[in-house]
Structure 1
């Protein structure tokens, strides 16, 4: 399977073209799933030739791998931006907020996430990219929870981290598959309510 592309030597024009192609992949996967994604429907959606897709990404695997890598880079940028506060509870709230930000938690993006997660077991590179990215995010949340518990007391930090992240995953699933899905705002409210149950001594700040 193809490795993620090195974009350090690509011209700005080519980067913009690639970004349009990646956006097209998001649209096509949301409609057809990974198995139904082809160079033909991606090129039609992006308004480029199939030859241009081959030039930039070589193969469908290359196109999908680069899409996954960029999706995860976008997610990491979002949660790291929310990780700047010196206060651990603020950082926890920021990490949760990033999970439900418009750029991350759209219906199309969630369709892409779940499609890649569904393929990860059979595609070693997808699995490697996802595991590495998710571990970085998990370790960031765990560091916040440990600092909060060490400073003010509370539940076991690893259990606290797992509870927060599992609840977020469940809310993403509700947004993605329910016939009447909850909104991002409703999901964030539920995540905050759940955190108040986990951290009753901090409920006034959540």
Structure 2
């Protein structure tokens, strides 16, 4: 019986990581399996064990990709600001702009939060993500302001994803102004 030729697929590992995020978005971490990932990526099941030590390893890499991707967009938006006023407006954008906290990104973030609470090794991915966010904010704000603004961004984006009447741009701008106001 002839053996099928081996497909050359140099991007397979990276594609498996990207597809894992799609599977998590569709089925949640609890419903993510090697079989679902392999089927979604159209690869043999053995590809996953060839490239990753186990499902936790693959999930960690997928969530790291998510965190790095979101952090890069976050940093780019803040890097575009050339003044404190522009930085404040960038923070408002990070909360209210539709391209920032998409339903898919928010869903994946919720899955990451829950998974990190159960898998201590993944807490490092969360801490790195928070560190990048705060570092980007600290280019324009004090460390204390950056911490408060980071928490506000997280909280308000979560609220926006479930609140039928989320805070609008003007309300968010007022919150940012209070958090970034110099102390008397």
Work out whether the TM-score is over 0.5.
yes
In the TM superposition, 1:1-206 aligns within 5 A as 13-15=9-11, 17-82=12-77, 83-98=79-94, 104-146=100-142, 158=144, 160-176=145-161, 178=162, 190-199=168-177
Q: Match for residue 154 of structure 1?
A: none
Equivalent residues of 1:121, 1:127 under 8 A apart:
yes
Equivalent residues of 1:168, 1:191 under 8 A apart:
no
Given the superposition, is the C-alpha separation of residues 124 and 181 from structure 1 closer, same or farther in structure 2, using an over 3 Å criterion? same
Moved over 4 A (4+): 98-104
Equivalent residues of 1:79, 1:94 under 8 A apart:
no
**Which 5+ residue runs of structure 1 have no aligned equivalent?**
1-12, 147-156
Secondary structure at the residue paired with 1:14? coil
Q: Which has the higher contact order (CA 8 A, sep 6+)?
A: 2
In 1, Cα distance between the equivalents of 2:109 and 2:17?
A: 14
TM-score (norm 2): 0.74
Given the superposition, is the C-alpha separation of residues 130 and 97 from structure 1 closer, same or farther in structure 2, using an over 3 Å criterion? same
